[in-house]
Amino acid sequence: MKRNGRHDDDAQLAAMGHKPELKRNFSALSMLGLAFAVLNSWTALSASLPVSLTSGGSASIVWGLVTAGICNLCIAASLAEFLSAYPTAGGQYHWVAVSWPRCVPILSWVTGWINVAGWIALVATNALLSSQLILGIISLLHTGYEAQRWHQFLIYIGLTLLSFAINASLNSLLPLVYKGAFVWSIGGFVLVCITVLACASPSYNSSYFVFRDFINKTGWPDGIAWLLGLLQGGLGVTAFDAVAHMIEEIPSASIEGPKIMVFCVGIGTCTGAIFLIVLLFVAGNISDVIESSAGPLLQIFYHATKSHVGAICLLMLPLVCLIFATLSVMTTSSRMIFAFARDGGLPASPFFAKVHPRLGLPLNALILTSAIVVLFGFIFLGSTSAFNAIISASVVALDLSYAMPIAVNCLQGRNTLPERKWRLPGWFGWTADLIALAYISLTTVLFLFPPSRPVTGTNMNYCIVAFAMIVTVSALQWIVDGRKNFKGPRVNTLSAEAENTNSEPKV
């Protein structure tokens, strides 16, 4: 039965014009582990507390996550339909092509470039958050220590190279690693919540503070400040398309993939909301948390436990989760680059579309991911605003890539997809699509705003500069090579039975 299932998966992939080259060695649980490690919601949300603490405070942290969680569930449910119909690692750029063939290849090209950029920026985001937590430990232990950007840069580079080494050398063990990551994340979430509540008892902050307290130190009007705080919630529940880009490595792809995509967002939103509420109850004096050189999360742990050792021990749990996240995001990013190169979307596409015969992974795509992440580090080294810009770029780019197939499907009357295992009822499908597009439209504009006013050269949001660079490189590549050679992914799917009669699938 298992063999037949894998045969059907390979036949469906072959019908979409691709030769099955990657081993389907991920189970549903290990893929859920990878997807949840990528979202890593409770850890990412707590590590990115500085984004919302001064941009709406508790009201933004809690209700911003609820808003982002509901909207991203709608996005995930909409994209799950595409994943069920077309389970290919190309994901969004492939789905755009099948939804509106007349506009291929340009729409597919743009979506692919945006998606690649978003995933690479997300690798950098996780490495930056991890390095920030490590610096916080040093600051807590040594009160006279003054962190320098180059200190964080070196840690960032070390984490990037570690993730590359594990991805390159332990590919066959990654399913086991991601099962462990899932267990570690859920177990760490439960352990930290129980510990800080027990240690802080009975000195809790009021429920008014947790659910209604508003802080605005951005210089923007209160409404805009609260909306800018959505960036934290958006970061904590985005990147669920990891399942799509890894889909060629899981059996029963068209059935299991959509369920995992939606479940990981639901689990992430619930665990993230509970964890943030717990943190706010035990946070103590919020001014100390905002101004702490150790970082908000570690300072909250210290307020709760009254112990440097206890706080650092607790911090190890989310820190390891973030390292798992960096590892899993790099895995997914390399698969996205591999898929796009396989369809001719990148410079030197044949080189980046190669699967290493012995390692069984797209090694060249993995090297490209790591090299660009290192370059992001040099940008961070030169600018104090690069941290927010890289976070904004990852969320905005991924959200835009989600919007493209959803928007095209809506313009086509939501009737372009073939029969599939995952299908939303008509009314719910339209509702989910429209909520998704409204949320992405709003946040795309807002997340390009500078985080505070007055705006200067040092605090402006350089996310727009990053996008300009992406657009420039993409446009030049289109003129030089893409318009001649990129035809988009194959969109005329064949039936599995017809494909099985061919001796070799088309490549």
- The Cα–Cα gap between 289 and 215 comes to 13
Q: Which band of pLDDT confidence, cut at 50, 70 and 90, is reported for residue 230?
A: confident
- The Cα–Cα gap between 346 and 302 comes to 48
| pLDDT at residue 15 greater than cutoff 70 | no
pLDDT at 277: 94
State how far Cα 31 lies from the chain centre.
15
- The Cα–Cα gap between 224 and 150 comes to 33
Helix (H, G, I), strand (E, B) or coil at 123: helix
pLDDT at 405: 92
| pLDDT at residue 290 greater than cutoff 60 | yes
pLDDT at 187: 92
- Across 234-248, 259-273, 373-387, 475-489, the highest mean pLDDT is recorded for 259-273
Burial class (CB in 10 A: 0-12, 13-18, 19+), 359: middle
Q: Which band of pLDDT confidence, cut at 50, 70 and 90, is reported for residue 271?
A: very high
Q: Which band of pLDDT confidence, cut at 50, 70 and 90, is reported for residue 494?
A: very low
Amino acid making up residue 291: E
Q: Where is average pLDDT lowest: 61-65, 216-220, 456-460?
A: 456-460
- Across 93-102, 159-168, 490-499, the highest mean pLDDT is recorded for 159-168
User: Average pLDDT of 459-466?
Assistant: 75
**CB-side neighbour CA atoms (13 Å) of 103:** 19
Q: Where is average pLDDT lowest: 166-175, 400-409, 484-493?
A: 484-493
User: Average pLDDT of 400-426?
Assistant: 87
Of 139, 211, 194, 189, nearest to 305 by C-alpha is 194
pLDDT at 6: 56
pLDDT at 23: 65
pLDDT at 3: 47
pLDDT at 78: 93
| pLDDT at residue 1 greater than cutoff 60 | no
User: Average pLDDT of 13-19?
Assistant: 62
Comparing 104 with 394, the larger pLDDT belongs to 394
User: Average pLDDT of 451-464?
Assistant: 75
| pLDDT at residue 38 greater than cutoff 70 | yes
β-sheet bridge partners, residue 276: none
Burial class (CB in 10 A: 0-12, 13-18, 19+), 198: exposed
Comparing 92 with 464, the larger pLDDT belongs to 92
Q: For residue range 387-406, what is the model confidence (pLDDT) as tens digits?
A: 777 777 888 889 999 999 99
Q: Where is average pLDDT lowest: 50-64, 328-342, 476-490?
A: 476-490
